[in-house]
Amino acid sequence: MDDNIRFLKEITEKGYQSIFEHPYLAMYRRLHEEFGLKIQLNLFYRMENFDLSMMSAAYCKEWAENADWLKLSFHSQLENVNPYEFSGYDEVYEDCKRVHEQIVRFASPQSLASTTTVHCCLATKDGLCAMEDNGVKGLLGLFGTQEKPRTSYGIDEGRAARIRSGEILQIGNISYASIDIVLNCFSTEEILQQLARMRQREGIRVMIHEQYFYADYYMYQPEFEQKLRATFGDLCENGYQSSFFEDLMAEKMRS
């Protein structure tokens, strides 16, 4: 789940007794309990009037207790277009390190994922080295479709096509995989149609953005939870089980 930060600001401001009093995390816990869903929330470091250093550490024990299904990771310093398309090592290293340090502080080391999706999926070779040096072992990206191909992280089209087809591909010390459906880009009916076309795949990776959850967002999607429920209901009915990307990488290494 990309572009996350607002729910952390609101948890801190409202002083909830539990992180699951926030409706965004309450929704994910419902989906976890119903479908065995594992959730990774990729975080911005800051937004207007808030950054991760301001997030309360009062919930650290609760985060740790739920780290088997709920993890956090680096996304970008803030929401801007193509933040790391031309960035050198130092900028990416410091931004990633800053987010990781705060996750460990307020949520526990267990909650820190070793994979992520960089905001807009662009990075230089030096930027990729910077993430690797921060412990990032896997990157999910947008690789389009056979009809409309695209690439991420500077990967050439030959290897991008393999990733697009569903392969987890290791390049250097980082494993790459595709995000197959961005749920907020489609209606529930369109999502189910796409899932039906991908049922031959061993794995299907889905993503949605936090901001579409909120009624005051200009592109608010009131069917946000409905989309997730339909997606994971369909996947479970067809034999899929939810996994973190890092767990899939570990399985691939063992095989």
pLDDT at 146: 84
pLDDT at 159: 97
Number of independent structural domains in the chain = 1
The residue range of the domain holding 85 is 6-254
Assess whether pLDDT exceeds 80 at residue 69: yes
Residue of higher predicted confidence among 60 and 144: 60
Find out whether 176 and 132 touch, Cβ atoms under 8 Å: no
Domain-located, residue 68: yes
d(CA 255, CA 253): 5
- The whole model's pTM is what? 0.96
pLDDT at 252: 78
**Average pLDDT of 11-15?**
96
pLDDT at 75: 98
Domain-located, residue 202: yes
Cα distance from N-terminal residue to C-terminal residue, the chain:
28
What CATH number is attached to the domain comprising 213?
3.20.110.20
Q: With cut-offs at 50, 70 and 90, classify the pLDDT of residue 158.
A: very high
Find out whether 73 and 115 touch, Cβ atoms under 8 Å: yes
Sign for the pseudo-dihedral over CA of 115, 117, 122, 123 = negative
Q: With cut-offs at 50, 70 and 90, classify the pLDDT of residue 118.
A: very high
pLDDT at 190: 98
Domain-located, residue 141: yes
**Average pLDDT of 92-109?**
98
pLDDT at 251: 83
Domain-located, residue 15: yes
- Residue for token digits 């991760």? 52
pLDDT at 253: 76
d(CA 82, CA 16): 34
**Average pLDDT of 81-100?**
98
d(CA 136, CA 142): 18
Domain-located, residue 1: no
Domain-located, residue 10: yes
Which tens digit of pLDDT belongs to each residue from 194-253? Answer: 999 999 999 999 999 999 999 999 999 999 999 999 999 999 999 999 999 999 988 877
Domain-located, residue 176: yes
Domain-located, residue 21: yes
Q: With cut-offs at 50, 70 and 90, classify the pLDDT of residue 130.
A: very high
Q: What is the residue-averaged pLDDT of the chain?
A: 96
Assess whether pLDDT exceeds 80 at residue 31: yes
Find out whether 194 and 234 touch, Cβ atoms under 8 Å: no
Share of the chain above pLDDT 70, in %: 100
pLDDT at 250: 86
**Average pLDDT of 13-24?**
97
pLDDT at 209: 98
Q: With cut-offs at 50, 70 and 90, classify the pLDDT of residue 177.
A: very high
- Residue for token digits 């069917």? 223
